[in-house]
Amino acid sequence: MTKPTMGPALAAAVALVLAGTAGADTIKVGVVAPFSGPFAMYGKQFKDAIDVYVAEHGTKAGDHEVQFIYKDTGGPNPDTAKSVTQELLVKDGVNYLAGYTFTPNALAVAPLVDQAQVPTVIFNAATSIITTKSPYFVRTSFTTPQVAGPLADWAIAQGIKTVVTSVTDYGPGIDAEKGFVKEFEAKGGKIVDSIRMPIATSDFSPFMQRIKAAAPNALFTFIPAGPPAFAFVKSYSDNGLSAAGVQFLGTGDLDEETTLQGLGDAALGIHTSFPYSVAHESAMNTQFKADLAKVDPGAVANFASVGAYDGTEALYRMIAAGGTDGDAGLKAVLGASWESPRGPVSIDPKTHHITENMYIRVVAKDDKGQLINKEIETIKDVPDLGLVSK
Amino acid sequence: MRSLVPFVVMLVVAVAAFYLFPYNLAFLTRVVITMILVLSLDLILGVAGVSTLGQAAMYGSGAYAAGLFAIHVWHDPLAGLAVGAAAGAVVAFVSGLFLTRAHGLTLLMLTIAVTEVLQEIANKFSAITGGTDGLGGIRMGRVLGIWKFDFVGRTGYIYAVCVLFVVVVVLKIVIGSPFGLALRGIGDSPARMRAIGTPVTRRLIAAYTLSGAVAGLAGAMAAQSTALVSLGVYDFQLSAEAMIMLILGGTGRLWGALIGTAVFMTVHQVASSVDPFNWLFVIGLLVLAVVYAVPRGLLGLPDEVKRLLRRLK
C-alpha cells in the first residue's frame, strides 16, 4: 500500500498530537464508559469519582498535568469500544486508558492496548480472564468469584450445610454460581439444587416454590441490580422463605446502593458479600462521601464509584512515576498498596488485579430509616479467586 | 452514462474520507459496515415493502459464523465473508419460510422474536460462543494474502469500501432485473402481483434470503474488524437503528441507505464526542426533524425543495 500524501488536515492533527504528548507535558487519559442508555449510571459514577479524586488531589500527578477525555460506548458494545479506543490512541494520543464496564468491551481492546503498550485501568468489568489478555491491564474493581467464594466460607462458618443456588442465566451469574459452589462443596457443604433463571424473568414465584420445597438452610443468588432484584427479593419474602428458615445469601450486586432503597423492607435481614458498602465505617470513606456530595449533590456512591476512585489513584501513581513512559508507570503500580474508601487495597503484581477485603453485610435500617448494607464481618485481603484457582 | 455518476461520487467520497480523516479510520470502517447492513434492509423493506425489525438476526449469525470460522477453520478474511454471508442466507431462508406469510404488526413481532431466540441460543451455548463475555481470540490473516490489518485501520477501511462497492453493484443489478421489478411490484401491491401470476411468497423468500446474505456479510465484516463477537450483534437496537438510518436517507433506492447511514453515524459521532453525556438529545431532534420535514428521507430533499419553490412562484 502506498503511503498517503499528508493533507493539511493531517499535518495539523499530527502537530496537535505532538503538542499533546511532548510539548506541554500534559498526560492524557482516555475514559471509555457508557454515558448514555440504560447503563449510563456507570459512566456517571466513574466521572463523579474522577472529579472527586481531582478535587482532592489536584490536576497534577507528580510534575505532570492530567487531562481526562471521555468517550461513550452506550452498553456492552465491543465494536464501539474498540473504535473509540483506537481513536483515543491514534487521534488524541492518550498515554493511559481507563473505564470499561463490560467484559466484551475490555476484551475487544486487549490487542490494541497490547500493540500501543498503553497501561489500561479497568474500573469495572468483572470476568477473571480479562487481566490475562494483556500485561497492560490493571483492574481496580472485583471479580465475581472473588465475591462469591468468601460468602461460601462464611456460610459454612454459620453452620449452613445445604444450599440451593439460583442465578440469572448469563455469564456473570454462572461465574458466581461456579465460584460459590466450588468453595462451598470444598468445605463440605451440600448443593441441593442449582437453578438458572432466564434473564427476562420478572415472576420468581415458581423458583421460590421450588427452593421452598427443597428446604435448604439457605439460598445463594446472583441477580442484576434494579427491577429483577426488586422482584426477586419481594418474591422471597412473599413466598415465606424467610419464615421457613431459608436464609438469603447473595453477591452485593443485587443490593448496590444506587438501587438499594427500591428493595424495600422485604430486603431487611438478607446477607450479601461485596468489597464496598457505602456504610463502611472509616475516616477515608466519610471524607469520600463528603467530597462526592460537594462535586455532585444528591449522588449516591456505590461499587462503581470506588472502582473508579481507586482506578484514578492507580492512574495518578503511574503518571507521577512514569509520565509518558507507560511501562515505567505500570511498574510503579504493580504491588502498590493504599488505603481506599472500601478499606486497604493492593495491586497483585502477578494477576494485575486488586487484592481487597470482602465484607459480609446484612441489610438493615440506619437511624434515618434508610436501608443500608451493614458490614458484620470482614474477610481480609482476598485476591482474585477466579485466577488463583486456575 | 448518467447512472455511473453516483458510483463516481461514492468513490471520490470514500477516497477523500481516507485522506481527510486518517485518524478516524476505525470509525469510518464501522460506517461502511453499517452501510452494508442498511443496504440489506433497503432491499427487503425499501424495495419489497416487508417491514422487519429483525435484520440483526442475520447480521449476528454472520458475525458468529465468521468468528467461529476464523478461530477454528481458516483465518482468511474473504473466506470468512463467504461463510458469514452463507450463514445469514440460511437463517433468512429458514425464518423467511414462515415470516413471509405474516404481515404488518404480526410480522414485526415475529422478526423481533427470531432475533431474540437466536440471542438466547448464543447465550445458552456459551462454551462455543463465549456467551456474555463475547467470542474472543479472532485473529485475521492478510487480505488476499497480501495486506495485513494494521493498527491505524487503513487496510480495514479499504477492504470494507471494496466490499461495499461490490454489494452496491450487485444490488443495483438485482433491483434493475425482472426479479427486482417484481419485488417493487410486490412492495406496491402484493394482491395485484398475485393477480398477474407472480408467485409472491416465493419471490419474497428469495429476496429475504438475499437480504440475509448481505446482512450476514456485514456481520462477518464487523466480526473481522472488531476481532470479537458479543451477544450485542443480536440486539434489537441494531435493527431499529438500521431502520432509522434507512428512513433518514430515503427508502428503495440504495443511495438513500448510504446517505442515511453516513449522516446518522456522523452526527452520532460528532455529538457524542462533543458531549458524551447528553448527545442522545441531538439524535432525537435529528430523527424528529427528518420525519416532519422530509418524510421521504434526505434523498427526497431536492424534490421537496423544488415543490416549495414552485409554490412560491
Whether residue A126 is found in the same domain as residue A49: yes
The domain total for chain A is 2
Question: In percent, how much of chain B has pLDDT > 90?
Answer: 56
Nearest chain B residue to A17, by CA: B23
Our separate counts of H helices and E strands in chain A read: 12, 15
A9 in any annotated domain: no
The predicted pLDDT at position A126 comes to 86
- Chain B residues with CB inside 8 Å of A7's CB? 19-20
Contact A76 B147 (CB under 8 A): no
Q: Is beta strand A96-99 parallel, antiparallel or unpaired with respect to A354-365?
A: unpaired
Q: How far apart are CA B96 and CA B205, in angstroms?
A: 5
A7 in any annotated domain: no
Whether residue A138 is found in the same domain as residue A156: no
Q: How far apart are CA A166 and CA A207, in angstroms?
A: 8
Contact B29 A83 (CB under 8 A): yes
A109 in any annotated domain: yes
Q: Which among B29, B133, B225 has CB closest to A107?
A: B133
Contact B231 A72 (CB under 8 A): no
Stretch B278-285: mean pLDDT, rounded? 85
Q: How far apart are CA A65 and CA A27, in angstroms?
A: 6
DSSP state letter for B231: G
Residue A115 lies in domain? 20-142+282-352
Interface size, chain A vs chain B, as Cβ–Cβ contacts under 8 Å: 122
Question: What is chain A's mean pLDDT, rounded?
Answer: 88
- Chain A residues with CB inside 8 Å of B224's CB? none
- Chain B residues with CB inside 8 Å of A80's CB? 30
Whether residue A102 is found in the same domain as residue A75: yes
Task: Encode B128-177 in three state secondary structure.
Answer: HHCHHHCECCCCCCCECCCECCCCCCHHHHHHHHHHHHHHHHHHHHHHHC
Residue-wise pLDDT tens for chain A (390 aa)? 344 444 444 444 444 444 444 445 899 999 999 998 888 889 999 999 999 999 999 999 988 999 999 999 888 888 899 989 998 998 899 999 999 999 899 999 999 998 899 999 999 988 888 999 999 999 999 999 899 999 999 999 999 999 999 999 888 888 899 999 999 999 999 999 999 998 878 899 999 999 999 999 999 999 988 888 899 999 999 999 988 999 999 999 899 998 899 888 889 999 999 999 999 999 999 999 999 999 999 899 999 999 999 999 999 999 999 888 989 999 999 999 999 999 999 999 999 999 999 999 999 999 988 999 999 999 998 988 876 544
Beta bridge partners of A344: A339
Stretch B105-110: mean pLDDT, rounded? 92
- For B39, phi then psi, to 5°, come to -60, -40
* Number of C-beta neighbours around residue B106 at 10 A: 11
Whether residue A205 is found in the same domain as residue A169: yes
Whether residue A241 is found in the same domain as residue A130: no
Q: How far is B15 from chain A (nearest CA, A)?
A: 11
Q: How far is B230 from chain A (nearest CA, A)?
A: 6
Contact B126 A13 (CB under 8 A): no
H or E segment to which residue A81 belongs = helix A78-90
A11 in any annotated domain: no
Nearest chain A residue to B155, by CA: A1
Q: Ramachandran region of residue A93, left (φ > 0), alpha (ψ -120 to 50) or beta?
A: left
pTM of the entire predicted model? 0.85
Whether residue A156 is found in the same domain as residue A288: no
Domain edges within chain B: 2-235
pLDDT band at B303 (very low <50, low <70, confident <90, very high): confident
The predicted pLDDT at position A388 comes to 54
Contact B134 A78 (CB under 8 A): yes
> How is residue B81 written as a grid cell?
465473508
Question: What is chain B's mean pLDDT, rounded?
Answer: 90
- Chain A residues with CB inside 8 Å of B71's CB? none
Question: ipTM strictly over 0.90?
Answer: no
- Chain B residues with CB inside 8 Å of A107's CB? 133-134, 136, 228
Whether residue A369 is found in the same domain as residue A264: yes
- Chain B residues with CB inside 8 Å of A174's CB? 126, 131
Q: How far apart are CA A125 and CA A101, in angstroms?
A: 5
Whether residue A362 is found in the same domain as residue A244: yes
For chain B, helix, strand, coil in percent to 5 are 80, 0, 20
Q: How far apart are CA A153 and CA A186, in angstroms?
A: 10
pLDDT tens sequence across B194-246 = 999 989 999 999 999 999 999 999 999 999 998 889 998 999 989 999 998 99
Contact B21 A199 (CB under 8 A): no
Stretch B99-115: mean pLDDT, rounded? 91
> How is residue A219 written as a grid cell?
439460598
Contact B152 A90 (CB under 8 A): yes
Closest CA to B56 of B208, B221, B235, B195: B235
Contact B132 A76 (CB under 8 A): yes
By a Cβ cutoff of 8 Å, what residues of chain B touch chain A?
A: 18-24, 26-27, 29-30, 120, 123-124, 126, 131-134, 136, 147, 151-155, 158, 222, 225-232, 272-273, 276-280
> How is residue A231 written as a grid cell?
422482584
Whether residue A363 is found in the same domain as residue A250: yes
A217 in any annotated domain: yes
The predicted pLDDT at position A24 comes to 52
Closest CA to A168 of A247, A224, A108, A112: A224
Q: How far is A114 from chain B (nearest CA, A)?
A: 11
Q: What CATH number is given to the structural domain containing A345?
A: 3.40.50.2300
A38 in any annotated domain: yes
Please tell me the least confidently modeled range out of A176-185, A291-300, B65-74, B285-294.
B285-294
Q: Is beta strand A64-72 parallel, antiparallel or unpaired with respect to A120-122?
A: unpaired
Q: Which among A1, A43, A116 has CB closest to B154?
A: A1
The predicted pLDDT at position B24 comes to 86
Query: In angstroms, what CA-CA distances link A83 with A89, A337, B4?
Result: 10, 33, 33
The predicted pLDDT at position A51 comes to 95
Q: Best of B15, B132, B142 to disrupt the A interface by mutation (most A CBs within 10 Å)? A: B132
Whether residue A322 is found in the same domain as residue A305: yes
Q: Give the CA angle between residues B13, B19, B20 to the nearest 5°.
A: 80
Q: Which among A36, A70, A77 has CB closest to B232?
A: A77
Q: Which among A4, A44, A76 has CB closest to B230?
A: A76
- Chain A residues with CB inside 8 Å of B126's CB? 171, 174
Contact B232 A76 (CB under 8 A): yes
Q: Is beta strand A337-340 parallel, antiparallel or unpaired with respect to A343-347?
A: antiparallel
